[in-house]
Structure 1
Amino acid sequence: MSGGAAGRGLRRLTRWWRRQSLRTRLTVIAATAIGVSVFVSFQVASELLDRKLRDTAAEQLRADSRVLAANAERAGLAQVELPPYPGSGRLVRVILPDGSIRTPAGQPALPPVSGGAGRVAQGASSDLLESTDWNDGYRVYTLRAGGGAVQVADLADDSPVNEFGFGMLLIGLFCVVGGGLVGRTVARTGLAPIDRLTAAAVRVAHTRDLDADIPDEGGGEIRRLIQAINDMLAALRDSRRSQRLLAEDAAHELKTPLTSLRLNVELLIRLDRRGTLDSALPAESRTRLLHDLGAQLAELSTLAAELTDLARGDVSDESTELIDLADVVVAAATRARSRVPDIEVALDVTSVWVSGRPAALQRAVLNLVDNAGKWSPADQPIQVRLRAEGASAVLEVDDAGPGIDAADVPRVFDRFYRADSARALPGSGLGLSIVQRVVDAHGGRAAVARSARGGALLRVDLPAAAPADR
């Protein structure tokens, strides 16, 4: 039961401690630390003082005993004159060779001669310091002299130690109270930057104003904390800005295909309601219109998929693994051929191992091949090359199209960007942007240049896996 009660008490104390504020904890810790320090100091100082007083008293007893012994040697133990008892202070006694004792007149009786003191009187040893609990307790020093012994005793007095302890207790209480006040002040001063930081964070949470950076103040850990929060706010600003731009760009890009799709569907509905669908739209026109509707739906599906991929903020949820990039390139080329049979892809790949996400890398390679397929002439194949170059895996997609104008090169990998010459071609302007994001996520670099055939040369450099990792 006692163990269970102690456990419950400890748990309640732990819960109480956890509910307290950091200020209260620091105050309690400071007061406790000072109290423990004062207590330990008191114990050590009391022990040292008591030992010093005992040593001093013992030395005084020895000195008085030597004086009395010298007198006894000259006059004899039976005739030596014993100092009269002054009413307080030291007590003396002479032990004669026959075991009898002499004491000054009027002196209080000392404890009986101990066996050790008797052996000193008989010559077994030269001296003896002993303590007795008789009455209030005596310290008795026995010294061999003149065939017997002389004894000098004093009453053990602990009052100096007790007075010292009482003084230390008062000082300790004062220090504990002062320590609590100092701890409270230090906690208030030290936590003031935290209070201001909390107020600033609450203000940002209420106003949702991510542009209001928290003032950088203080030093050490406080400064690093403020900088970390400001970096987090900056990341949130960038994320919100990216989301807003994505939404604006998506709205802009979706407007044209949705408008065209809506007009075509409304036309079909209107003609069907009038009953003039067959007469107003010959079979050839209906076929062309339905083909346009299918193409617009396919374009919307592609755009929605790419927007979803971009809006996720990460390449994918798949894990990183060690893969042969040549297998990824071959799989992407196979998918490109199945999607557009007219595309001819010439592969020149060597085995290069990388650490990455297979599906994301295949999507990036497929987008590169699809982009090249829009521009490359039907009689000219798209050349896809993969090789190891130093510590990098280098992938190049080369087409024989008209190439990319110098003015368009800086914005090739921007989202929704389409050159003037590409306005009439299908696509959303997101393919190369996804390539850029996948490459960045893998620690690589994407670039565009003019190929030797006059078309565009898109190059991707990815870190190759170390031989030990393979």
Structure 2
Amino acid sequence: MSRPARRLTRWWRRRSLRTRMTVIAATAIAVSVFVALQVAIELMVGELQSTAKDQLRAESHVVAADAERAGPARVQLPPYPGSGRLVRVILPDGAIRTPAGQPALPPVSEDAWRVARGASADLMESDDNDDDGYFVYTLRVGGGAVQVARAADNSPISEFGLGMLLIGALCVAGGALVGRAVARTGLAPIDRLSAAAVRVAHTRDLDADIPDEGGGEIRRLIRSINAMLAALRESRRAQRLLAEDAAHELKTPLTSLRLNVELLIRLDRRGTLDSALPPESRTRLLDDVGAQVAELSTLAAELTDLARGDVSDESTEVLDFADVVVAAAARARSRVPDVEVALDVSSVRVSGRPAGLQRAVLNLIDNAGKWSPAGQPVGVRLRAEGESAVLEVDDAGPGIDAADVPRVFDRFYRADSARALPGSGLGLSIVQRVVDAHGGRVTVARSARGGALLRVDLPTAAPPAPDAPLAAGDDAAAR
């Protein structure tokens, strides 16, 4: 793109919508007027030329009748009156007669000579010079011919064109004004919509919906913005609930940790730490502090992961879900060595984020491990069913009460039976978020062993395209 074109593009993009509509309206009218002017001039020129030619034919027949009676050499040619028609007689011997005082006509053309010699009966010619063009009509008479000519008069066309140009300029100006008025009227709802949006941005009042007015595109735009405001209200409410729930969940471990640490500090300042706390009690207290710190760390990590939502720098890739499940099981065994994990996995390809999927599987195994009795492994099964990858994680614990099933994936929700167990109530919520982000579904049921069974269904990825077979030459080259 050339530099002037780029400048024009930048100028156009900086213009307001009103200015654009005004320019478009004026341009459309200008183009329409120009096309109409060209068409009108062409029609007028054709009509004037047709009239002039008809008049020439009529005058030529009058002169030809006189020349037929008196003969071309003796016909009387009155002196030129100073304007009007021009007459020329072509004699049989090739001589030319013209009235006295008449301006010189263009030389006789070859076609006109052929008419005089009897090649044809008549001929209409035009000499369209810029200054003094002529229409010349040649009519055969006896052994010669009669020519009658008239100067082409372009003044009516020029006057008509000037008048149309003035009318067009007025139409363009009027079109610009009308376009401006139409733009102002048509964009009034947009102005009110913009003012309402600015007001919402300044006041931070997301509860004030923008009044629904107008129709068509304006109404759809207003409804879209109101839907966006509703989504923002819901997002802010969710953030507030998350902050309130997080503060509530942090309060208990922080209070216990603060009391234990204050006890240690107070005894240390008195110098009675060794005497007041026997080794067994000190070990138990430090273990309690360590467990509370670990719980806080886990809660902070889960809160961070939950607050990030679907925002992740990790790219989506096609992977073997079995590798993710095996890696998650290995991490679960390293974190809680007492929990046994029984794997039964098959290779299933899915499209997803490896770290997110591994976190979801790890949370499922950790959740099942809390409820598994000693000596009872956590069952982890992965298989393909149709176009889905099915992951099942179950335990042999007491299972999930029917009253708790609808809320088991809610943030910070913990059943009454789980209050004494470690955890924040965020693990299954994170599982649901990850599964939803991958277009899957997670459900709760009762396992055959009486405990809880959590099932994850993820869409499988398309199988990789088979490698194209090598041609004979390529195969030989490869060997």
TM-score, structure 2 as length reference: 0.89
Distance 1:352 1:10 in 2: 55
Structure 2 counterpart of 1:159: 155
- Corresponding residue for 2:26? 31
Q: Which residue of structure 2 aligns with residue 462 of structure 1?
A: 458
Mapped to 2, the partners of 1:467 and 1:54 lie a distance apart of 78
Q: How do 1:401-440 and structure 2 match up within 5 A?
A: 401-440=397-436
**1:14–1:440 Cα change, 3 Å:** closer
Find the counterpart in structure 1 of residue 246 from structure 2. Answer: 250
Deviation at 1:8, TM superposition (A): 7.1
Q: Give the secondary-structure state (helix, strand or coil) at the position aligned to 2:301.
A: helix
- Identity across the alignment (%): 82
Indicate the residue corresponding to 1:57 in structure 2: 52
Selected match of 2:90 from 88, 95, 99: 95
Given candidates 108, 115, 120, the residue that maps to 1:114 is: 108
What do you get for the CA RMSD once the two structures are aligned? Answer: 2.6
The match for 2:122 is 127
**Kindly tell me: are residues 319 and 20 of structure 1, through their superposed partners in 2, closer, same or farther at Cα, counting changes over 3 Å?**
closer
Query: Aligned partners of 1:9 and 1:385: how far apart in 2?
Result: 67
CA–CA distance in 1 between the matches of 2:171 and 2:255? Answer: 82
Deviation at 1:297, TM superposition (A): 0.6
Aligned to 1:393: 389
1:141 aligns to 2:167 (yes or no): no
- Deviation per CA, 1:132-178: give whole Å up to 9, x if none: 56984443322221222222222322222122112211211121111
Structure 1 counterpart of 2:476: none
Q: CA–CA distance in 1 between the matches of 2:118 and 2:89? A: 15
Post-superposition offset of 1:251: 0.2
Aligned length: 463
Q: Secondary structure at the match of 1:377?
A: coil
Partner SS, residue 204 of structure 1: helix
User: 1:365 is aligned with what amino acid?
Assistant: V
1:143-222 superposed matches below 5 A: 143-222=139-218
Counterpart residue number, 2:449:
453
C-alpha change, 1:87 and 1:450, in structure 2 (3 Å) is: same
> Which SS does the other structure have where 2:43 is aligned?
helix
Q: 1:71: which partner in 2?
A: 66
Cα separation, 2, equivalents of 1:135 and 1:320: 78
Separation in structure 2 between the aligned mates of residue 14 and residue 359 of structure 1, nearest angstrom: 46
Where 1:436 maps in the other structure, the secondary structure is helix
Counterpart of 2:236 in 1: which secondary structure? Answer: helix
Q: Contact between 1:31 and 1:176, CA under 8 Å: does it hold in 2?
A: yes
Secondary structure of the structure 2 residue equivalent to 1:407: coil
The code of the aligned residue for 1:57 comes to: A
In structure 1, what is the equivalent of residue 41 of structure 2?
46
Distance 1:58 1:315, change over 3 A: closer
Whether contact under 8 Å (1:385, 1:395) holds in the other structure is yes
Counterpart of 1:316 (choices 308, 312, 319) is 312
Equivalent residue, structure 2, for 1:4:
none
Report the Cα distance in structure 1 between the residues aligned to 2:397 and 2:411, rounded to whole angstroms.
22
Alpha-carbon distance change, 17 to 460 in structure 1, aligned in 2, over 3 angstroms: closer
Q: Give the counterpart letter for 2:305 in structure 1.
A: D
Q: Match for 1:287 among 258, 283, 287? A: 283
Higher mean Cα deviation, 87-96 or 129-138?
129-138
Determine if contact 2:324/2:358 at 8 Å carries over to the other structure. yes
Q: Aligned to 1:247, what secondary structure does the other structure show?
A: helix
State the Cα distance separating 1:305 from its structure 2 match: 0.6
Deviation at 1:220, TM superposition (A): 4.3
1:45-104 per-position Cα deviation (integer Å, ceiling 9, x unaligned): 212311221122112212221232233223322444557867643343433335555556
Give, in angstroms, the shift of residue 233 of structure 1.
2.3
Q: What is the match of residue 325 of structure 1?
A: 321
**Given the superposition, is the C-alpha separation of residues 336 and 11 from structure 1 closer, same or farther in structure 2, using an over 3 Å criterion?**
closer
Pairing 1:226-241 to 2, within 5 Å after superposition: 226-241=222-237
Q: In the aligned structure 1, how far is the partner of 2:213 from the partner of 2:143?
A: 87
Partner of 1:3: none
Pick aligned residue for 1:383 from 379, 384, 388: 379
Matched with 2:349 is: 353
| Gap runs ≥5 in structure 1 | 1-6
Contact 1:91/1:107 (8 A) holds in 2: no
Question: Are 1:400 and 1:453, in contact at CA under 8 Å, matched by a contact in 2?
Answer: yes
Kindly indicate whether the alpha-carbon contact (under 8 Å) linking 2:79 and 2:102 is maintained by their aligned counterparts in 1. no
Partner Cα separation in structure 2 for residue 94 and residue 156 of structure 1? 21
Q: Distance in 1 between matches of 2:202 and 2:248?
A: 32
Ranges in structure 2 where 5+ consecutive residues have no aligned partner: 467-479
What residue number does 1:338 align with? 334
